C-alpha cells in the first residue's frame, strides 16, 4: 500500500489468546474492566508476568471499590483453556502474587482536571502515538495482519466450540501471513506459517488439513490461486507440545505490532493493555485510528497515517501530522491543520474519552481488545466511520 507502483511481499503475524504474552494482556485488561465497572474514575496501570504455575500482578491502581484481582486473573486463565495441570499453567493451581500500589500523586496532579496546569484533564504521559488505515480490506486494515488475526481467531473458536473434535489443539498458537502486492494491492498469498500447540498424539496432517480449511473459509479465492496446502509451514520445528507460560514467560505489552497494524503502520512504542484511557498511549492511538479510518473511508486517501504527540499534564497535543503517502486528494498539510483545529476530531484526552466512551464501555470490553487486534473489528467505537460527511464538508 505504501509503494503503489512496486511489486513487493509484506508479512505480518498474529498470536492466539493462549500465547503467554496475550495471557498477560488479557488479565491486565480484565482487571481494567473490573475497576471501571465499579469506579469509572479508576486509574489503572497494570502489568502482568506469567510463567510456569505462576502469575504476578503488579502496577499502580487507584480505585474506590474493592476488586478481587486474583479471582479476575484465574477466571481469564480458565476461559482461555488453561485448566489442566499437565499444561504447566492452570487456573485453579497456579500461584498468584500481587504487587499493586496506588497511582503516584505526582502523576495524578498532572492528569486530574482540577490540578493540571491547563485546567483540564492532561495527558497521562509524554510520547507519540500513531493511527493508520488503508484500503486493503473492508475494515480498512492491512491485509496480512487481518488474515493472520482471522486464522488465529477461527482456530480458537473451533477449539472452544467443538472441544471433543479438536481436542488435539491447545491454547498457544501463532500465524504468519505473507502477501504479494502489485500496484499497491494484495494479489495473492505468498506464504503461510502456523505454529499451534498440540497434544502429544496429534497427527501433523490433522493440523495441516484444518489450517487449509480455515484459510479457505476466511481468505478470498483470488488470493489463493495456485496455493497448495503442502506448501504451508505448519509447526516447522516438528513438535509444539510444551507451550503457553510453561514454554515461554509472558509479559504485558510485548505484542504491540500484533495489537496495531502488523508493521505496515507505525507504532509509538507504548503498549495498550492494562492502561485506563487517561493514558494517551492507549486512548490517543484509538483516536488516531478513528481519524485515519474516516479519512480513508471518505475517499480522501487510499492510506493514511496520523501521528499525535503529547506532553505530560497538558491537554492539547504538541503536534499532529497526517501522512497519506502520496495517495491523498488534498495536501497532507491541510489534513494536519484540520486535525489540529479539533472541530471534527478533538485530541484532548477528556474529549477522546467522551467521544469514544472509553470510561464506560458499552457493547465491548477492554479484555476483548487484547486478542486479535485493537483495530479492525466493528464492535469498537473507534472503528466507526461517522465523520465522513463532516470531513468532506470541510474540504
Alpha-carbon distance values, 68 to 74, 76, 100 (Å) = 10, 13, 12
SS3 content of the chain, % helix, strand, coil (to 5): 35, 25, 40
Q: What is the pLDDT of residue 124?
A: 85
Predicted confidence (pLDDT) per residue in 219-238, tens digit: 999 999 999 988 899 999 99
Predicted confidence (pLDDT) per residue in 250-290, tens digit: 999 999 999 999 999 999 999 999 999 999 999 999 999 99
Kind of pairing, strands 8-15 and 319-323? unpaired
- For residue 228, give the 3-state DSSP assignment: coil
pLDDT of 110 > 90? The answer is no
φ and ψ at residue 393, rounded to 5 degrees: -70, -25
Kind of pairing, strands 185-198 and 43-51? unpaired
Cβ pair 170, 337 in contact under 8 A: no
Cα 77 to Cα 54: distance, rounded to the nearest angstrom: 11
Cα 212 to Cα 225: distance, rounded to the nearest angstrom: 13
Q: What is the mean pLDDT of the chain?
A: 95
Predicted confidence (pLDDT) per residue in 36-55, tens digit: 999 999 999 999 999 999 99
Q: What is the pLDDT of residue 263?
A: 98
Please give the average per-residue pLDDT across 311-337, as a whole number: 96
Q: What is the pLDDT of residue 85?
A: 76
Reading the block at residue 161, the C-alpha cell is 466450540
Q: pTM score, two decimals?
A: 0.95
The most distant pair of C-alpha atoms in the chain lies apart, rounded to whole Å, by 64
pLDDT of 19 > 90? The answer is yes
Cβ pair 122, 316 in contact under 8 A: no
Predicted confidence (pLDDT) per residue in 68-90, tens digit: 999 999 999 999 999 987 899 99
Reading the block at residue 67, the C-alpha cell is 476488586
Q: CB 157: neighbour CB atoms within 10 A?
A: 12
In the chain, the domains with their CATH numbers are 8-14+144-242 (3.30.300.10), 20-111 (3.30.300.10), 127-136+255-394 (3.30.300.10)
Q: What is the pLDDT of residue 103?
A: 79
- For residue 234, give the 3-state DSSP assignment: strand
CB-based contacts of 254: which residues, under 8 Å, 6+ apart? 21, 271
Cβ pair 214, 151 in contact under 8 A: yes
Q: What is the pLDDT of residue 113?
A: 56
Amino acid at each position: 500500500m505504501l509503494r503503489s507502483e512496486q511489486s513487493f511481499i509484506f508479512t505480518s503475524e498474529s498470536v492466539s489468546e493462549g500465547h503467554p504474552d496475550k495471557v498477560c494482556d488479557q488479565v491486565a485488561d480484565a482487571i481494567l474492566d473490573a475497576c471501571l465497572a465499579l469506579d469509572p474514575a479508576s486509574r489503572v496501570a497494570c502489568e502482568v508476568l506469567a510463567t510456569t504455575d505462576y502469575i504476578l500482578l503488579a502496577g499502580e491502581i487507584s480505585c474506590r471499590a474493592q476488586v478481587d484481582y486474583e479471582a479476575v486473573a484465574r477466571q481469564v486463565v480458565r476461559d482461555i483453556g488453561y485448566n489442566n495441570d499437565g499444561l504447566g499453567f492452570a487456573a485453579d493451581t497456579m500461584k498468584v502474587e500481587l504487587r499493586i500500589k496506588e497511582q503516584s500523586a505526582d502523576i495524578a496532579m498532572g492528569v486530574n482536571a482540577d490540578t493540571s496546569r491547563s485546567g483540564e484533564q492532561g495527558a497521562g504521559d509524554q510520547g507519540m502515538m500513531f493511527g493508520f488505515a488503508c484500503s486493503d480490506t473492508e475494515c480498512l486494515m492491512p491485509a496480512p495482519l487481518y488474515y493472520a488475526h482471522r486464522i488465529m481467531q477461527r482456530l480458537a473458536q473451533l477449539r472452544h466450540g467443538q472441544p471433543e473434535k479438536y481436542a488435539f489443539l491447545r491454547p498457544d498458537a501463532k500465524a504468519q501471513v505473507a502477501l504479494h502486492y502489485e500496484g499497491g494491492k494484495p494479489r495473492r498469498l505468498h506464504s503461510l506459517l502456523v505454529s499451534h500447540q498440540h497434544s502429544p498424539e496429534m497427527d501433523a496432517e490433522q493440523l495441516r488439513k484444518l489450517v487449509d480449511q480455515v484459510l479457505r473459509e476466511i481468505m478470498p479465492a483470488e488470493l489463493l490461486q495456485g496455493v497448495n496446502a503442502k506448501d504451508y509451514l505448519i509447526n516447522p520445528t516438528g513438535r509444539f507440545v510444551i507451550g503457553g507460560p510453561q514454554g515461554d514467560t509472558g509479559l504485558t505489552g510485548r505484542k504491540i505490532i500484533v495489537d496495531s497494524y502488523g508493521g505496515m503502520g507505525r507504532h509509538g512504542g507504548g503498549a495498550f493493555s492494562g492502561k485506563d484511557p487517561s493514558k494517551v498511549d492507549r486512548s490517543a492511538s484509538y483516536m488516531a485510528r478513528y481519524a485515519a479510518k474516516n479519512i480513508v473511508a471518505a475517499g480522501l486517501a487510499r492510506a493514511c497515517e496520523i501521528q499525535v504527540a503529547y506532553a505530560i499534564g497538558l491537554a492539547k497535543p504538541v503536534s499532529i501530522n497526517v501522512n497519506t503517502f502520496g495517495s491523498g486528494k488534498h495536501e497532507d498539510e491541510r489534513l494536519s491543520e484540520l486535525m489540529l483545529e479539533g472541530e471534527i476530531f478533538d485530541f484532548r484526552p477528556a474529549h477522546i474519552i467522551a467521544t469514544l466512551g472509553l470510561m464506560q464501555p458499552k457493547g465491548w470490553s477492554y479484555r476483548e481488545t487484547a486478542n486479535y487486534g485493537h483495530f479492525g473489528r466493528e464492535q469498537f467505537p473507534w472503528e466507526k466511520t461517522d465523520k465522513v460527511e463532516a470531513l468532506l464538508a470541510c474540504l
